[in-house]
Amino acid sequence: MELPLTEPFKTKMVENIYRSTGSEREMWIKEASLNLFNLRSEQVIIDLLTDSGTGAMSDKQWSAMMLGDESYAGASSFYKLKDAIKDLTGFNYFLPAHQGRAAENVLFSVLVKEGDIVPGNSHFDTTKGHIEFRKAQAVDCTIDEAGDTTSGHLFKGNVDLEKLEQVLKANPAEKISCVIVTVTNNTAGGQPVSMSNIREAGKLSHKYGVKFIIDAARFAENAYFIRMREDGYAEKEIRDIAREMFSYADGMTMSSKKDAIVNMGGFTAFREEGLYQLASTFNIIYEGFLTYGGMSGRDMNALAQGLYEGTELPYLESRINQVAYLGSKMKEYGIPLLEPYGGHAIFIDAKKFLPHIPKEEFPAQTLAIELYLEGGVRGVEIGALMADRDPVTRQNRYPDLEMVRLALPRRVYSNNHMDYVAAVVRNVFDRRNMVKRGVQIEWEAPIMRHFTVKLNRF
């Protein structure tokens, strides 16, 4: 028989999980104001809140840490990382930052001013936060199929090039900070963006004299999907696909906590010296000197190694297959899911799961709470709570997709854990009609409210 694929790694160190009881969880979630971000990690059995910074580093990464150079200026770790970034992206210039949003802060300090417009494909929440905080506007130009959880479109993360061109046509180039394309498209469900779409979006931006930036948090997973789904890439190396993706861009922001498999870190990188120089000043103010920018030498070393491990085909195969394994188990149980499955997470369609809960009662948050109560599984709401209020009208925004995301940390859980998660979701699905009401907001912050919101049950 054909041999199945196995994980291309084995476990060297384990972390114990406390198996809480239902009544403990009932008490803890109340104390947490029904906000899963307020739970302590010991109160969680399977933590699928995020795949960000939660991955397991390899022995090679840990040993690279021992060789970290902690010099303030000119550390060898900086140059090691610079070489890795140049090799994988083609960008000559790079600035370290302590995480992805810090990289965004540095880049947007250069590019975004009040009244600007930043078109893209469903900007990530911190990206949108940084744009709106500067009184600029993030315009979502994602293809319409992204809003349809059952559309089989293979690149649902794509930019709608017509929508993008309309925005570029309707506004002078000075008013458009940049076009930012996020790969994979996290907000649309970890959906990939095709190579041809990246290329065309880049061309279009340049035609209108606008910079084209890639938010590259999951660039390796995106490259994997291009290899699997786009004509002409089946035989290509992941790294070559990544290099081509970046070849169409002027620069990038990176949350290294995703595809670079480190627990903390980020960077910006640029093709031209000009943008790099402008960003350098802000990097020094916000992050630190040019050769460390918020990172220790040891962390830069681990990141350089992680960038290579995250772009290895056997690793990506096992990762994306694990996500699909969880998806297919849940699908077997009849759970309404976003398809095709994303690269880093499975998204449950809460509107279909709890159709009797009105949108004003936050069905996805309600479902996330139920999954926690049922089996200590922590997911995250990607819906109206996260979509926040319109910055101008202060009205709640209700996005097309109202979902619970179960994001898989890299190299952390086994498929047995996935079976457990699927069983938890199934049990809640079987008793979904007993979930009578949703939740309401007791307190919220003026921006990015989902992190700190306090909720009540109706």
Ligand X SMILES: *Cc1c(COP(=O)(O)O)cnc(C)c1O
Which residues lie near ligand X (CB under 6 A)? 52, 99-101, 124, 126-127, 182, 186, 215, 217, 255, 257-258, 266
Q: Characterize the bridge pairing of strands 454-457 and 439-443.
A: antiparallel
Residue 452 CB, shortest distance to ligand X, in Å, is 16
CB 380 within 8 A of CB 392: no
Q: For this structure, is 125 an active site residue?
A: yes
Which one from 72, 398, 451, 458 is the annotated catalytic residue? 72
Residue 444 CA to residue 455 CA, distance in Å, equals 9
Q: Which of 125, 259, 349, 388 is catalytic?
A: 125
From the CB of 139, what's the least distance to ligand X, in Å?
Answer: 17
Torsions phi, psi for 11 (to 5 deg): -90, 135
User: What would the DSSP string read from start to end of 28-89?
Assistant: HHHHTTT-GGGS-GGG-SEE-S-SSS-SPPPHHHHHHHHT----SSS-HHHHHHHHHHHHHH
Nearer to ligand X, 222 or 305 (CB): 222
Scan for tokens 């394309």, then name that residue. Answer: 181
Cα 16 from chain centre = 26
Q: Is the dihedral of CA 20, 26, 31, 36 positive or negative?
A: positive
The residue (of 34 and 382) whose beta carbon lies closer to ligand X is: 382
In whole angstroms, how close is the CB of 185 to ligand X at the nearest point? 8
In the complex with ligand X, the residue whose CB is nearer, 218 or 271, is 218
Smallest separation, CB 401 to ligand X (Å): 16
Q: Which is nearer to ligand X, 160 or 259 (CB)?
A: 259
Q: Which is nearer to ligand X, 182 or 365 (CB)?
A: 182
215 is catalytic: yes
281-306 b/e (C-beta count within 10 Å ≥ 16 → b): ebbeebbbbbbbbbbbbbbbbbbbbb
**CA–CA gap between residue 275 and residue 98 (Å, rounded):** 19
Q: Which of 91, 94, 124, 267 is catalytic?
A: 124
Sign of CA dihedral 274, 279, 284, 287: negative
Please confirm, yes or no, whether 362 is among the known catalytic residues: no
Q: Looking at beta carbons, which residue is closest to ligand X?
A: 100
Clarify whether 124 is annotated catalytic: yes
Nearest approach in angstroms of CB 111 to ligand X is: 15
Q: From the CB of 44, what's the least distance to ligand X, in Å?
A: 19
Nearest one of 285, 306, 376 to 48, comparing CA atoms: 376
Q: What's the gap between Cα 149 and its chain centre?
A: 18
Give me the catalytic one of 123, 130, 211, 258.
258
Token pair of 85 as six digits? 């970034």
Question: Is the Cβ of residue 43 or residue 126 nearer to ligand X in the bound state?
Answer: 126
Catalytic residue among 217, 223, 384, 407: 217
Residue 348: Cβ within 10 Å count:
28
Catalytic site includes residue 219? no
Nearer to ligand X, 77 or 255 (CB): 255
- Give which of 291, 224, 304 is closest to 260, Cα–Cα: 304
What is the rounded CA–CA span in Å between residue 136 and residue 117?
Answer: 6
Shortest approach of ligand X to residue 286 CB, angstroms?
Answer: 13
Choosing from 82, 329, 344, 450, the catalytic residue is: 450
* Per-residue tokens: 198: 């990246």
Question: Where in the sequence numbering do the catalytic residues fall?
Answer: 72, 124-125, 215, 217, 258, 450
